[in-house]
Amino acid sequence: MKPDKYLKNYIAGALVPPESGEYLDNVNPATGKVYSFIPDSDERDVQKAVEAAAKAFPDWSSCGVRKRFRILLRLADIIEQNLEDFALAESEDAGKPVSMAASVDIPRAHENLRFFATAILHFAAESHHMEGEAVNYTLRQPLGVVGCISPWNLPLYLFTWKIAPALATGNCVVGKPSELTPMTAYLLSKACMEAGLPPGVLNIVHGLGPKAGQAIIEHPQVKAISFTGGTSTGRKIAATAAPVFKKLSLELGGKNPNIIFADCDFDQMMVDTLRSSFSNNGQICLCGSRIYVERPLYERFRDEFVKRTQFLKVGDPASPMSDLGALVSKSHMEKVQGYLQLAEVEGGKILCGGTPVEVGGECEGGYFLRPAIIEGLPIECRTNQEEIFGPVVTIQPFDTEEEAIALANGVPYGLASTVWTTNLPRAQRVAERIQAGIVWINCWMLRDLRTPFGGVKHSGVGREGGWEALRFFTEAKNVCMKY
Ligand code: TXE
């Protein structure tokens, strides 16, 4: 299943060009060169996609869970059978190492489909008995046409995380992947055709957020929006969708704390802290970007962390030797570099990294940056308050549990957090008090797809994962029957 030079929208079961006839450049971030073109779709394409979805809805929503289960499993199998092509496409589009796309992104995409395909077989609603008088039962009905909008950092992983529960519950979807990383969603449309997904059940419209994305949000027939992306985009989406009472699930930014106590398992903590800091160049909403270390361990931690970070190989995403590839775009790289300059203005000391890497060869024009560690910044400075979303972390010592919790909670975000200690009562005390949707104790990014996933404060509204996602994509209707 190979990428094409000119991508097409997937509407009503067919690959079609955009109504405008216009295309946007698609850049390979590892080379800085345009390598394909994506539809510059607008409200006319979205209208067609919504019409196709609305037409498909009566059959899809009433065909029974077993049929939906079988088709979604077939789709998962096709992705798995074409893992190499999908991984290469993801790497070329997003700049991440092929090894990462092949071991994390694409396997998780087919797992998402399998997880929700099977979950729907076990999904049940409640009943409430009023003794001697009546019984209430709850119907969980699909919403109709829903919108799924996903970002560039984990393209197919997050796109399937949304569309799988939406489709499993019987909705029809108009989806839009990020304009920066459209290729695996395009391959997914080919896979849907091969899997026999009925026309219109899933429609994929490519294009810019403020144009194609906004048209999906605004469309009166789109009943719910599931969005992952930046907090300011989430705010715009909420401002459009809330006044017309659309259901909203918003997974937004993070500024996640890692709290490391001196009694932790040092070796395991170091391995996972390196991962939580720099996996995918820090471009994962779950990455820890503020690291707080109990003072007796601080210097040992700092020296070892700097040493291991300097050892990370930044290079050609196609090479199996590369730990880190390119950042997703030129403008994102400039944003991250801007934060590094700001950190110095704010009085921070860059202990390592932060400089561009000349990879050379094919990758001469790519957006490569050495991972950076910054020391000496207070919690209230912008570097510690704003989401950078790059290979940049700050480190700081703390003296008491109370202080660590105050630091962890001292930002507007609240997505994920990590606590390292062998003192389990303390771990649980801290977990209770951290303002975040996710707390990892002595691990990072260990994911069970049944668990609720999402953030508090400016990190979002609602939860994905497990039953939460199936509930989001259905409307509860209580039926009360007197006897
Ligand atoms: O994301 P956007 P951007 C953070 C990260 C990053 C910042 C901005 O800090 O630097 O956000 O990144 C679509 N109506 N995260 O600007 O714009 C867009 O086309 C409807 C964190 O690249 O939020 C894309 O499909 N849709 C994050 C999706 O929204 C709109 C992952 C996300 O893009 C739209 C990505 C609109 N008005 C960035 N405007 C995470 N939490 O994982 C844009 N879009």
SS3 readout for the chain: CCCCCECCEEECCEEECCCCCCEEEEEECCCCEEEEEEECCCHHHHHHHHHHHHHHHHHHHHCCHHHHHHHHHHHHHHHHHCHHHHHHHHHHHHCCCHHHHHHHHHHHHHHHHHHHHHHHHHCCCCEEEECCCEEEEEEEEECCEEEEECCCCCHHHHHHHHHHHHHHCCCEEEEECCCCCCHHHHHHHHHHHHHCCCCCCEEECCCCHHHHHHHHHHCCCEEEEEEECCHHHHHHHHHHHHHHCCEEEEECCCCEEEEECCCCCHHHHHHHHHHHHHHHHHCCCCCEEEEEEEHHHHHHHHHHHHHHHHHCCECCCCCCCCCECCCCCHHHHHHHHHHHHHHHHCCCEEEECCCECCCCHHHCCCCCECCEEEECCCCCCHHHHCCCCCCEEEEEEECCHHHHHHHHCCCCEECEEEEECCCHHHHHHHHHHCCCCEEEECCCCCCCCCCCECCEECCEECCECHHHHHHHCEEEEEEEEEC
- Give me the pLDDT at residue 73, please: 98
Instruction: Give domain 9-252+459-482's CATH number out of 3.30.70.20, 1.10.10.10, 3.40.605.10, 3.30.499.10.
Output: 3.40.605.10
Q: Which of 41, 96, 233 to mutate for ligand 1's pocket (most ligand atoms within 8 Å of CB)?
A: 233
**What spacing in Å lies between the alpha carbon of 230 and ligand 1's midpoint?**
4
229 lines ligand 1 (CB under 6 A): yes
Task: Answer whether 9-252+459-482 and 256-448 agree in fold.
Answer: no
Give the tens place of pLDDT for each residue, 209-256.
Answer: 999 999 999 999 999 999 999 999 999 999 999 999 999 999 999 999
- Give me the pLDDT at residue 146, please: 98
Q: Model-level pTM?
A: 0.97
322 lines ligand 1 (CB under 6 A): no
252 lines ligand 1 (CB under 6 A): yes
Which parts of the chain sit beneath pLDDT 70?
none
285 lines ligand 1 (CB under 6 A): yes
User: Which residue in 90, 92, 251, 464 is the catalytic one?
Assistant: 251
- Give me the pLDDT at residue 1, please: 87
Domain residues of the chain, as ranges?
A: 9-252+459-482, 256-448
Residue 149 CA, closest ligand 1 atom number:
25
Q: Is the CATH number 3.40.309.10 carried by domain 256-448? A: yes
